[in-house]
């Protein structure tokens, strides 16, 4: 025992893996480039499917690590070399850390919606992303459009930056469908007289209780669902938006005025994840997420010995899945450091 583990990225996965590894007796160092731990969780006000506050989960994660591990904030790795199974990582602060194992938990970033120019993000004032809407919710202020009116009709556009060859992202980001339903409910709770529409290609309510949330949105809140992908949005004189979709189930093009348009932005590997791929020479798959050694049996193993993956740096995940994955990574690292090789089982 007494071996060192370096964890890069202090989001959900990094925090949870730190907690488990330190509980197992390793010396854990957690590096975070921001000045606060929590990653994206800091920005999500409430979580699907339970509408529980993000803060509660964050404080749970903090309980696992506060005072138990070494946390280095405002720092990121700038160089990494491997010598005799040891990873020597230089941080931007100048500090050099030697570790027996490295865990990458650098996570995702949301898709830059301005790349879908026809949707008007960054061009029209009343087009926001799901992340922006979450901030509007958590600010606690009154929901108003840029023209200062209470929105009467809000559209949620699914699959922005996901499942789209044209922006190079063929994968499904997994969380946006249910997030749209969650946010539509939250919106209706705040503005009961507003209409909420979800525009989807497929509704992927695959998680436990997701379908119930969908049903609740229909039943209790009257959220309407239109199967069609937004093709373009234009701005009216009053800064409301005119959107064009095909209502594929009636089989006719549909145009509709919207006061607020919410783009459900998908996941892309974060800048940190891309940087770590370069620094540690990790393979990336066709999706640009870090490649797992095996999709079934070695999900936390990277293409480089002693470097492990957890959380959304390797695939889009929900918070639940991220936490589970972090714990799995902790178990994997433990087995690696105690020289138990799962790969042997295959022989």
**Contact positions vs other proteins (CB under 8 A):** 112, 115, 117-118, 120, 123-124, 159, 163-168, 201-202, 227-235, 244-248, 251-254
Instruction: Please state the closest distance from residue 280 (CB atom) to other proteins, in A.
Output: 23
How many whole angstroms separate alpha carbon 34 and alpha carbon 338?
32
Q: Shortest distance, CB of residue 125 to other proteins, whole angstroms?
A: 12
In whole angstroms, the minimum distance from the beta carbon of 36 to other proteins comes to 28
Q: How many CB atoms lie within 10 A of CB 241?
A: 24
Minimum separation from the CB atom of position 238 to other proteins (A)? 16
Residue among 94 and 251 whose Cβ is closer to other proteins: 251
Shorter beta-carbon distance to other proteins: residue 236 or 341: 236
Residue 230 or 279 having the CB closest to other proteins = 230
Q: How far is the CB of 167 from other proteins (least distance, A)?
A: 6
**Which lies closer to other proteins via its Cβ, residue 119 or residue 214?**
119
CA 255/CA 292 separation, integer angstroms: 43
Q: Which is nearer to other proteins, 42 or 254 (CB)?
A: 254
Q: Report the sign of the C-alpha dihedral through residues 22, 28, 34, 40, in that order.
A: negative
CA pair distance 23, 35, nearest whole angstrom = 24
Query: Least CB distance from residue 273 to other proteins, whole Å?
Result: 15
Output 176 or 330, the one with its CB closest to other proteins: 176
Nearest CA to 259 among 193, 201, 195? 195
Q: What whole-number distance in Å separates Cα of residue 172 and Cα of residue 162? A: 5
Q: What is the nearest approach in angstroms of other proteins to the Cβ of residue 241?
A: 11
Contacts 24+ apart (CB under 8 A), 57-66: 57/12, 57/319, 61/12, 61/15, 61/16, 61/19, 61/37, 62/15, 62/37, 63/19, 64/15, 64/16, 64/18, 64/19, 64/20, 64/22, 64/23, 65/15, 65/18, 65/19, 65/22, 65/28, 65/30, 65/37
- Which lies closer to other proteins via its Cβ, residue 252 or residue 296? 252
């Amino acid at each position: 025992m007494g071996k060192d583990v370096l964890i890069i990225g202090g989001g959900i996965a990094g925090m949870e893996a730190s907690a488990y590894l330190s509980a197992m007796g390793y010396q854990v160092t957690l590096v975070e480039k921001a000045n606060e731990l929590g990653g994206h969780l800091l920005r999500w006000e409430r979580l699907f499917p339970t509408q529980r506050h993000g803060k509660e989960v964050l404080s749970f994660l903090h309980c696992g690590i506060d005072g138990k591990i070494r946390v280095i904030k405002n720092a990121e790795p700038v160089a990494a070399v491997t010598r005799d199974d040891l990873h020597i990582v230089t941080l931007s602060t100048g500090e050099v850390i030697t570790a027996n194992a490295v865990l990458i938990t650098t996570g995702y970033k949301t898709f830059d919606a301005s790349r879908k120019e026809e949707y008007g993000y960054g061009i029209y004032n009343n087009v926001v992303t799901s992340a922006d809407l979450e901030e509007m919710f958590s600010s606690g202020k009154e929901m108003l459009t840029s023209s200062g009116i209470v929105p009467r009709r809000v559209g949620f556009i699914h699959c922005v930056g996901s499942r789209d060859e044209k922006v190079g992202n063929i994968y499904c980001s997994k969380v946006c469908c249910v997030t749209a339903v969650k946010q539509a409910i939250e919106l209706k709770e705040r503005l009961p007289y507003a209409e909420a529409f979800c525009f989807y290609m497929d509704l992927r309510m695959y998680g436990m209780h997701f379908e119930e949330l969908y049903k609740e949105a229909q039943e209790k809140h009257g959220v309407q669902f239109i199967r069609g992908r937004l093709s373009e949005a234009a701005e009216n004189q009053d800064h409301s938006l005119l959107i064009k979709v095909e209502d594929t189930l009636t089989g006719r093009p549909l145009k509709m005025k919207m006061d607020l348009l919410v783009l459900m932005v998908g996941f892309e590997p974060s800048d940190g994840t891309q940087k770590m791929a370069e620094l540690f020479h990790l393979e990336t798959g066709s999706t640009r997420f870090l490649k797992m050694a095996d999709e079934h049996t070695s999900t936390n193993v990277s293409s480089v010995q002693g470097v492990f993956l957890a959380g959304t740096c390797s695939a889009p995940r929900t918070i639940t899945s991220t936490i589970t994955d972090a714990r799995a990574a902790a178990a994997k690292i433990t087995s690696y450091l105690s020289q138990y090789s799962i790969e042997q089982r295959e022989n």
